[in-house]
Amino acid sequence: MSKKSSIHFDISERKVLLRILDIASVLSLLYGIGLVFDFDYFKINEEHWVWSIVLGLYIAVFATIFELYNLQKASKFEVVIQNIILTSSVTVLFYLLTPFFTPELPENRLQIVYFYLAVNIALLIWRYAYISLISTPRFNKKVLLITSFDSLKPIINSLHKSDPNYRVVGYVDTSTVKESVSVEGIKAYQKKSLINDVEEDFISEIVVALPNGKGMTPTLNSLLIRLLEKGTPIREYTQVYEENTRRVPVHHAEQDFYRYFPFSRSNQNKFYLFFHRVLDLLFSIIGLIFGIVIFPIVLLGNLFANRGPLFYSQVRVGKNSKEFRIYKLRTMIVDAEKEGARYASTNDTRITKFGKFLRKTRIDEIPQFINVIKGEMSVIGPRPERPVFVKELSKQIPFYEVRHLVKPGVTGWAQVNAKYGASKEDALEKLQYDLYYIKRRSLFLDISIVIKTLSTIIFYRGQ
């Protein structure tokens, strides 16, 4: 029989809930306005059903671009207000500019203002309700960890950071060195009373974080089986970590390579690879055309603010560890590495003011589309790194060379999720994202990366 538990939502459930009710709230308010007032620009009926589908699609796409489905930001109303206004403004603009699929512009232009206000008000009311009622501790997923005391804090930090509503409330210490103690509000559960405690505290899930089963005793194993029989979900930490953070836990994988990396079939799927290459060429042509259009501005900026060569090139490591020469717009001072190669860092004094603008807007990456056309890179993939850093990081970080199984990219899962790699720790985090991409590579993930890249550019977060 299933045990009684508290109500909670997983990450995927929250995002689906947000998407569905964003669209439902807007359509409901517009439908109500149409019934009560003389509002005939937008109608919900059998004759004009396409209008609602197009509006819903625009809301879903632009809300993703403007980060309304970022769970960390979705729980902060001051951030949500800003993102709702951006989403509504772009959604209405695109809706007005596609009259073939949407209503023709009304004679009474005030109806456009009412339409815009309705979209904003509907989203604001629903999102306020979400923050007040759903994104609260009462809907937290209460998790119990089975792990050693030494691993407790890193695991808790990684899980809490990935989802603010995924709360580790307690743990069972599998180490034998010291007596279990509660830390930072995390309760230490005892094995002898574990079954009763799990039921009384409404634990939603048990996560086992024991590499290679170290610390798993017959007694503990028996207790977990009994809890499983009573309806308590029990999951392995690496699965939870990957699902919540969208990263592969390299630090927890040790040397059991194939257990953690059953790579995506898309890496060998000829149809996917062909389609991927077609998109590479299409995006590269569009990117280079855009680069030509803004070239006079870049040229003037470089002339007055960078004072030196416009372009620069470096040797990078590509697919199958084959080296190639990458092309970029120069963003640093001349002779920036006269003292040797080193990572760029936050507020790096070597980066010029105009160079910082080029990095933030990702304009400095445009010449890399030449590498894409040549087949040395892809639009989407791991960031190509320099040979000196690859050699160094390969010795320090397990599985680092695995990122060279696919072509490097102009943008990628790591580039849109992680900060700029300025240390071994940053490189490890980016590798986790890169391995997740290689493992889960698909058309849907590629589209997600393109949308997140647009968010990075719009919010001026390039690196």
Tens of pLDDT, residues 83-112:
999 999 999 999 988 878 888 888 788 889
Is residue 54 scored above 90 in pLDDT? yes
Last residue of a domain, one of 134, 158, 177: 134
Does some domain include residue 6? no
Say if 446 falls within a structural domain: yes
Task: Give whole-number Cα distances, 23 to 88, 101, 138, 357, in Å.
Answer: 12, 17, 25, 35
Could you tell me if residue 258 is inside a domain? no
Separation of alpha carbons 8 and 138, rounded Å: 8
Residue 1: inside a domain, yes or no?
Answer: no
What are 327-365's pLDDT values in tens digits? Answer: 999 888 877 666 666 666 666 678 888 888 888 889 999
pLDDT for residue 257? 55
Q: How many of the other CB atoms lie within 10 Å of CB of 273?
A: 13
The answer, yes or no, to whether residue 3 has pLDDT greater than 60, is no
Query: DSSP H helical segments within 66-136, as ranges?
Result: 71-74, 77-96, 110-129
pLDDT grade for 400, boundaries at 50, 70 and 90: confident
Predicted pLDDT of residue 123: 96
pLDDT of 410 over the 90 cut: yes
Q: Where are the beta strands (DSSP E) in 342-398?
A: 378-380
In this prediction, residues 290-301 reach a mean pLDDT of: 93
**Rounded to whole angstroms, how far apart are CA atoms 387 and 318?**
10
DSSP H or E stretch at residue 457: helix 443-458
Question: Across-strand partners of 327?
Answer: 313
- Same domain? For 199 and 331 the reply is no
What's 155's domain CATH number?
3.40.50.720
> According to the per-residue pLDDT averaged within each range, which of 7-11, 90-94, 177-181 is highest?
90-94
Rounded to whole angstroms, the Cα distance separating 168 from 170 reads 6
Structure confidence at residue 1 (pLDDT)? 41
Domain assignment present for residue 4? The answer is no
Backbone angles phi, psi at 373, to 5 degrees: -60, -35
**What percent of the chain stands above pLDDT 90?**
35
Q: How far apart are CA 209 and CA 95, in angstroms?
A: 49
Q: How many domains does the chain have?
A: 3
Asked if 146 and 234 touch (Cβ cutoff 8 Å), the reply is no
* Stretch 183-205: mean pLDDT: 87
Domain match, 311 and 171 both: no
Q: pLDDT higher for 316 or 308?
A: 316
Q: Residue 3 falls within a domain, yes or no?
A: no
Last residue of a domain, one of 217, 245, 273: 245
Residue 2 pLDDT level (bands cut at 50, 70, 90):
very low
Strands 378-380 and 409-411, by their bridges, are parallel
> Is residue 377 a part of any domain in this protein?
yes
- Nearest residue to 391 via CA among 313, 312, 463, 315: 315
Of the candidate ranges 133-137, 295-299, 438-442, the one whose mean pLDDT is the lowest: 133-137
For residues 326 and 392, membership in a common domain is answered with yes
On whether both 113 and 90 belong to a single domain, the answer is yes
Residue 251: pLDDT band (50, 70, 90) is low
Q: Does the pLDDT of residue 221 top 50, yes or no? A: yes
Most confident of 81-85, 175-179, 395-399, 415-419: 81-85
The whole-chain average pLDDT of the chain stands at 85
| pLDDT computed for residue 254 by the predictor | 58
Same structural domain, 447 and 306:
yes
310: its two tokens? 């416009």
- Same domain for 306 and 168: no
CA-atom Rg of the chain in angstroms: 26
Whether residue 47 is found in the same domain as residue 178: no
Are 20 and 123 found together in one domain? yes
Whether residue 126 is found in the same domain as residue 202: no
| Mutual angle of helices 270-301 and 443-458, in 10-degree steps | 10
Asked if residue 5 is part of any domain, the answer here is: no
Structural domain ending residue among the three candidates 78, 112, 134: 134
Q: Are 285 and 456 in contact (CB under 8 A)?
A: no
Nearest to 22 by CA among 82, 76, 84: 84
pLDDT at 13: 77
Spatial separation of the C-alpha atoms in residues 273 and 375, rounded to whole Å:
12
Residues 145 and 129 in one domain: no
Looking at residue 214, its pLDDT comes to: 76
Residue 244's pLDDT is 82
Domain range for 33 is 11-134
Exposure string (b/e) for 101-126, b if CB count within 10 Å is 16 or more?
ebbeeeeeeebbebbbebbbbbbbeb
Q: Are residues 121 and 144 in the same domain?
A: no
Same-domain check for residues 167 and 203:
yes
